[in-house]
Amino acid sequence: MAERNTISTKDYEEFSRLLENECGIVLGENKQYLVTSRLNHVLKDNKMDSLGSLIAELNKDTSRKLINRIIEAMTTNETSWFRDIHPFNTLKERLLPELAKGRRTPVRIWSAACSSGQEPYSISMLVHEFIASNPGLLNVDVQILATDISPAILLSAEKGRYDDMAMARGLSPDRKKKFFRETPNYWQINPAISSRIQFRPLNLLQSYNLLGKFDIIFCRNVLIYFSTESKKQILEKMCNILNPGGHIFLGGSESITGITDKLNMVRTNGGVVYQLKP
Ligand SMILES: C[S@@+](CC[C@H](N)C(=O)[O-])C[C@H]1O[C@@H](n2cnc3c(N)ncnc32)[C@H](O)[C@@H]1O
């Protein structure tokens, strides 16, 4: 599948439909080059020579191994520590102090497309620092659920091991020293930070009924790839599992305009957070 024109219109359309149904990602028109480059190694590993044969094989893929490989190849896992910083400042300066007041049940935070783990670990580091600098203020556990559609990326997130390149993106020397142990080959996150986090696979297109309720949801840099209809359904489901007054963070280029009227936009110091309407 080295050439763009080796993908027929029929195969491209069928593949686009399949990808959207499986994970919400909308390819749009004329992205044959993207499909070609992203799927090249999947085809090679499975000894196939065209998108058509891959689609045919998918129909027999009861183990879902092949579809998972395809989703992994087609999704973007770009992430970094304390990405965009504003959500983390808002969490520390506004949301955690509010949640701490008279709280008797665990505070629950969901990182809804956590990629290789930098987002949930950043949240946990911040919670750790908040507790350390405000002794006695937050008297309940903080539980973080971290989910992603990709079992492979989740496995690497759960290991909590990062190379120098990943460590260099958004982590201060102080946090690196405080929250990681250096080994000859990688940096290992400390159990004090990882123990607050539960990792599990979840496709955002599926039901959230078994997740329980949350105070805060981080759903950042994933809805950008979805159709308006999928965004509506996802935000509707998220609103249904937010505690009263709960908050949602979206990515810097994402918004709720034309998507839901259940959330109020709250401007914070340099950023935006969405709060469930009363
Ligand atoms: C660009 S990363 C965002 C990571 C992190 N939230 C951040 O902002 O840095 C997008 C993640 O969304 C995941 N993803 C894509 N489609 C998904 C779906 N339908 N359900 C759950 N996760 C999905 C991908 O596997 C990828 O890890």
CB atoms near residue 21 (< 10 Å): 9
Whether the per-residue pLDDT at 227 is higher than 80: the answer is yes
Alpha helices in 137-183 (DSSP H): 151-159, 164-167, 173-179
- Mean pLDDT (whole number) for 142-151: 97
The one-letter amino acid at 24: G
- Around ligand 1, the residues with Cβ closer than 6 Å are 23-24, 75-79, 83, 113, 115, 119, 148-150, 153, 203-205, 220-222, 251
- Mean pLDDT (whole number) for 91-101: 96
Whether the per-residue pLDDT at 232 is higher than 60: the answer is yes
Q: Are 55 and 14 in contact (CB under 8 A)?
A: yes
Whether the per-residue pLDDT at 90 is higher than 90: the answer is yes
Which sign does the torsion angle of CA 200, 123, 212, 249 carry? negative
Whether the per-residue pLDDT at 46 is higher than 60: the answer is yes
Please choose, from the candidates 208, 273, 266, the residue with its C-alpha nearest in 3D space to the C-alpha of residue 240: 208
Name the least confident of 13-27, 60-74, 121-135, 158-172: 60-74
Structure letter (DSSP) for residue 92: I
The size of the chain, in residues, is 278
**Which residues are bridge partners to 199 per DSSP?**
146
- Mean pLDDT (whole number) for 50-54: 93
- Ligand 1 atom 19 nearest Cα: 23
Q: In the structure encoding, which two tokens stand for residue 35, read together?
A: 């499909």
Report how far ligand 1's centroid is from the alpha carbon of 249 (Å): 14
Question: What pLDDT is stored for residue 9 in this prediction?
Answer: 92
Question: What pLDDT is stored for residue 4 in this prediction?
Answer: 40
Q: What is the pLDDT of residues 13-43, one digit of tens each?
A: 999 999 999 999 999 888 999 999 999 999 9
**Domains assigned to the chain:** 4-74 (1.10.155.10), 86-276 (3.40.50.150)
CB atoms near residue 2 (< 10 Å): 8
CA 88-223-256 angle, to 5 degrees, is: 75
Backbone angles phi, psi at 169, to 5 degrees: -100, 85
Q: In the structure encoding, which two tokens stand for residue 270, read together?
A: 């340099």
* Average pLDDT over the chain, rounded to an integer: 95
Q: Are 84 and 122 in contact (CB under 8 A)?
A: no
Q: In the structure encoding, which two tokens stand for residue 162, read together?
A: 């990062």
- Mean pLDDT (whole number) for 53-59: 91
Ligand 1 pocket mutation pick from 218, 222, 223 by most atoms within 8 angstroms of CB: 222
Report how far ligand 1's centroid is from the alpha carbon of 161 (Å): 19
Whether the per-residue pLDDT at 231 is higher than 90: the answer is yes
Residue of 102 and 200 predicted with greater confidence: 200
Nearest-angstrom CA–CA distance, 182 and 145: 26
Which residue is it, tokens 């094989």?
Answer: 57
- Mean pLDDT (whole number) for 207-214: 97
Residues 6+ away with beta carbon under 8 Å from 58:
18, 66, 67, 70
Structure letter (DSSP) for residue 161: E
Report how far ligand 1's centroid is from the alpha carbon of 149 (Å): 7
Q: Are 86 and 270 in contact (CB under 8 A)?
A: yes
Name the least confident of 27-31, 72-76, 139-143, 188-192: 27-31
Q: What is the pLDDT of residues 1-18, one digit of tens each?
A: 444 447 899 999 999 999
- β-pairing, 242-250 vs 197-201, is unpaired
Relative to the CA of 76, which ligand 1 atom is closest? 1
- Mean pLDDT (whole number) for 197-219: 98
Strand order, beta sheet including 197-201: 197-201, 142-148, 107-111, 214-219, 242-250, 271-276, 263-268
